[in-house]
Amino acid sequence: MSAAPPMDAASIAAAVAGRRSTARDVVAQTLDRIARTDGRINAFTDVLGARALARAEALDAALGEGATAGPLAGVPFAVKNLIDVAGLTTRAGAKINRGHPQAQRDGALVRRLEAAGAILVGALNMGEYAYDFTGENIHDGDAHNPHALDHMTGGSSSGSGAALAAGMVPLTLGSDTNGSIRVPAAFCGCFGLKPTYGRLSRAGSFPFVGSLDHLGPMARGVADLTLAYDAMQGPDPDDPVATPRAAEPVLPVLESGIDGLRIAVAGDYFARGGDPDAFAAVARVAQALGAGRTVELPEAHRARAAAYLITAAEGATLHLDRLRTRPGDFDPAVRDRLIAGAMIPAPFVERAQRFRRWYRDAVLDLFGGVDVILAPATPCRAPKGGQTHFVLDGVSLPVRANIGVFTQPISFIGLPVVAVPVRLDDGLPLGVQVIAAPWREDLALRVARYLERAGICTAPIAELT
């Protein structure tokens, strides 16, 4: 085996394409790192060694015969275990799903990444049925934050954040219904892209709240995030909400900088109800971008309330048969919220969906005068594992229900967001949401890349102790 490969996806792809490294070596070293590391992290629920090595060898053989290398040639990646992987049961973090048949086919995004040369190495831990912000899972065990093993990873894409922060893979996929990419990105100190609702296909993934579900990439660098995002774009008739828009690649404009962009900080609701550190992280990013303006997303507290109601009601509807027949096999914290959700009177849910239209129109008006909005990703750094309450603005609140206070009003109307990591000190990282208008992922990624180049947002691999 040759020397250890570079750790970021873009460098791996360049090395494999240039035949300076083989995909087999990259994958073998990745599998070795997972084997040596994951016992302390618990990010993986399945490691696909044989499949990954076979694909790597096939890629090396094809390149040896003159095939053109894809943009992600030889890049190892792993996916949240609600995304189908042929031959695995799609467990979605749930005990109940373990009785389901194995998936016959990889999910759409897995197929698209592999078509670009990437190599799937495993499936990742997650909160049960994605109804989670903590990263805790009573069935598969909690994922541990690589930056402090006794702290939460955030969820529900817990393994997706933890596997990156521990340096086990350079690229993961997560899902985000109310913040489940952005929260673990913040707590684990990496980058995450929640694209516009409908931008990336969700075909071949286990749903949670159809009208709010998104899939997206997570990585330790913006170029890697963009490479993966570009490889996954494009219409998909298998997802009823996938956009018919053609792919709009961002990589060609990623280094365009921020000249001419109107960038503002979200005020009011997004400037209170959190630890001072959460707002200090936003201020650091805003200063680096020269963003002195503040804008107000109107009625954001009601937007969060509406997202909360729709989530509970739609989630309960999805799981009603399981609540009837196997209530004892749920995580109790998930079951009790779903049962309450099943009992919400229909007019409240419809009201929430009507409010959603009003809020969407109001926020789109806001984007007439601003291109990018900054907001905290979470109200605090990662809480301790098992912690049930935290104090925000002097008020004791349940952790599970309140980690997503700043993410919910954004995903509620499907806006694209890049969560960028910020390190204020030697403590745990924080995250900032870089938010753009629908279909303008390019702007959020450009700003994130500018911040990365300026050294404001970095995602170093954790030194495990």
Partner 1 sequence: MPEPVPSSAAVFDPEAYIAATAPLLGIAIEAGWTDAITANLRVLAGAAALLTEFPLPDTVEAAPRFEA
Interaction site with partner 1 (CB under 8 A):
211, 299, 301-302, 305-306, 308-309, 312, 320, 323-324, 327, 332-333, 335-337, 339-345, 348, 350-358, 360, 401, 413
Q: Helix (H, G, I), strand (E, B), or coil: what is residue 173?
A: strand
Please list the residues that pair with 78 across neighbouring strands. Answer: 122, 172
- Nearest CA to 26 among 162, 122, 121? 121
Residue (70 or 195) nearer to partner 1, CB? 195
Query: Which residue do the tokens 């994958």 mark?
Result: 27
Q: Helix (H, G, I), strand (E, B), or coil: what is residue 417?
A: strand
Is 95 among the catalytic positions? no
How far apart are CB 240 and partner 1 at their closest, in Å?
9
Residue (38 or 236) nearer to partner 1, CB? 236
Core vs surface per residue 168-201: b (16+ CB within 10 A) or e: bbbbbbbbbbbbbbbbbbbbbbbbbbbbbbbbbb
How far apart are CB 364 and partner 1 at their closest, in Å?
12
Angle at 371 between CA 357 and CA 365, to 5 degrees: 30
- Nearest CA to 83 among 55, 115, 122, 48? 122
How far apart are CB 409 and partner 1 at their closest, in Å?
12
How far apart are CB 417 and partner 1 at their closest, in Å?
18
> For residue 140, what are the contacts with CB-CB under 8 A and spacing of at least 6?
42, 45, 91, 93, 125
Q: Can you read off the two tokens belonging to residue 173?
A: 């996929």
Q: Is the CB of residue 195 less than 8 Å from the CB of residue 441?
A: yes
Is 160 among the catalytic positions? no
How far apart are CB 332 and partner 1 at their closest, in Å?
7
Residue (191 or 355) nearer to partner 1, CB? 355
Residue (8 or 136) nearer to partner 1, CB? 136
- For residue 398, report the phi and psi dihedrals to the nearest 5 degrees: -65, 135
CA distance 460 to 429: 10
Q: Is the dihedral of CA 40, 205, 232, 436 positive or negative?
A: negative
How far apart are CB 8 and partner 1 at their closest, in Å?
38
Q: Can you read off the two tokens belonging to residue 96?
A: 């109940």
Residue (191 or 406) nearer to partner 1, CB? 406
Of the chain, the end-to-end C-alpha distance in Å amounts to 27
Q: Can you read off the two tokens belonging to residue 341?
A: 């959700």
83 secondary structure, DSSP code: B
Query: Which one from 80, 157, 158, 194 is the annotated catalytic residue?
Result: 80
Core vs surface per residue 267-279: b (16+ CB within 10 A) or e: bebbbebbbebbb
- For residue 47, report the phi and psi dihedrals to the nearest 5 degrees: -115, 130
Is 180 among the catalytic positions? yes
Residue (347 or 368) nearer to partner 1, CB? 347
Query: Which one from 21, 156, 160, 175 is the annotated catalytic residue?
Result: 156
CA distance 286 to 383: 25
Q: Helix (H, G, I), strand (E, B), or coil: what is residue 302?
A: helix
Query: Which one from 160, 175, 180, 411 is the annotated catalytic residue?
Result: 180
Q: Helix (H, G, I), strand (E, B), or coil: what is residue 397?
A: strand
Residue (290 or 386) nearer to partner 1, CB? 386
How far apart are CB 161 and partner 1 at their closest, in Å?
26
How far apart are CB 386 and partner 1 at their closest, in Å?
17
Residue (144 or 337) nearer to partner 1, CB? 337
**Which positions are catalytic?**
80, 156, 180
